[in-house]
A and B are shown apart, each in its own frame.
Chain A
Amino acid sequence: MLSGTLFAVGLIGVIVRRNMITVLMCIELMLNAVNINLVAFSHRLADLQGQVFAVFVITVAAGEAAVGLAIIIQLYRMRSTVNVDEVKTLHG
């Protein structure tokens, strides 16, 4: 329940905000919601796999944040903007 709420808030944030840093924070929020779900079901089913996978998710989140923030910094150097809507070179 709480996990779903947190995930929904994060999803809204990803789509709604224009600032790229905030979008990345919302992605972290979604990953955290997934972690809550994993741990809750691990507790519920008395199985440790959920906690192991939560650790993996945390690792992946750390890597994703590092690469994402590097991309943001480089983008800011090239374009001096962190706005999602203004970055559309890949738009075809």
Chain B
Amino acid sequence: MSMDEISAQMPLLVFLVIGTLAVASSILVVAMRNPVHSALFLLLTFLCVAVLFVIKSAEFVAAVQVLVYAGGIMVLFLFVVMLINYRHLPEDRVLSKVWLGGIGVGLAVFVLFFSLVRNGAYADQAPDAAKKLSTVSESYLTQHPSDPSKLVRRTRDRENRNAEAVGMALYRDYLVPFEVVSLFLLVAMIGAIVIGKRELSSEEEESTPQFILERAEVEKEVKESMSA
């Protein structure tokens, strides 16, 4: 096998190895007893998925995946695992009462997806996959030839423009969904702060204004009525 053939087979080889690794570590996420181990295998899965994104010439999504998932969400998970002292919890049974049904439903969904992929409209191999690999972002840019932005023309001779193309799509065609998502993030942040807030201690109560104290009272009543 010549060097060119090997490099042509490279994406498939990497896909097989990384895909197997991703599935194995995701199974370990479910199977691990210790939540910290689960979180670390989840990190491995996220990194494998990022590599798969790079193979599919989605470099921007891969970068966002690493930053948001591996950076943000994993730190959040590990923080919560450390905050909640799981060793003090009585963990006699790891599995839920409905574990048999759960595995059944999961296997049924797996068989469904498997048959879909095998017999569906996209079952055949893409005819010009190698060509598309290098032109996926280019095809988007050429769809908008009347673009007034000079930035595009200046960087047109650059090798990789995936991030640029995604940015163009995100800020022009999907501007309204983008703003809605940013609003959603704001709402999620406020919600997380309000939910995660703890009750005030006595020395804090002396220095806080009256309306906050009244609100804390109301919250306490609501919580008591919920836990009663």
Contact = CB atoms under 8 A, between A and B. Distances in A.
Query: Are the chains A and B members of one assembly?
Result: yes
Contacts of B136: 42-43, 46, 48
Given A32-B49, A46-B132, A59-B184, A21 B227 contact: no
Interface residues of A, number: 71
A35 B61 contact: yes
Nearest to A73: B196
Contacts of A43: 56-58, 132-133, 136
Contacts of A8: 106-107, 109-110, 113
Interface string B161-204: 01001100110011001000100110111011101101000000
Interface in A10-67: 10-19, 21-22, 24-26, 28-29, 32, 35-36, 39-44, 46-49, 51-52, 54-56, 58-67
A15 B184 CA distance: 27
Interface string B22-56: 11001101100001001100100110010011001
A15 B105 contact: yes
A82 B73 CA distance: 19
Interface of B: 19, 22-23, 26-27, 29-30, 35, 38-39, 42, 45-46, 49, 52-53, 56-58, 60-61, 64-65, 68-69, 72-73, 76-77, 79-81, 83-84, 86, 88-89, 91, 93-99, 101-103, 105-107, 109-110, 113-114, 116-117, 122, 126, 129, 132-133, 135-137, 139-140, 162, 165-166, 169-170, 173-174, 177, 181, 184-185, 187-189, 191-193, 195-196, 198, 223, 226-227
Interface of A: 1-19, 21-22, 24-26, 28-29, 32, 35-36, 39-44, 46-49, 51-52, 54-56, 58-67, 69-74, 76-85, 89
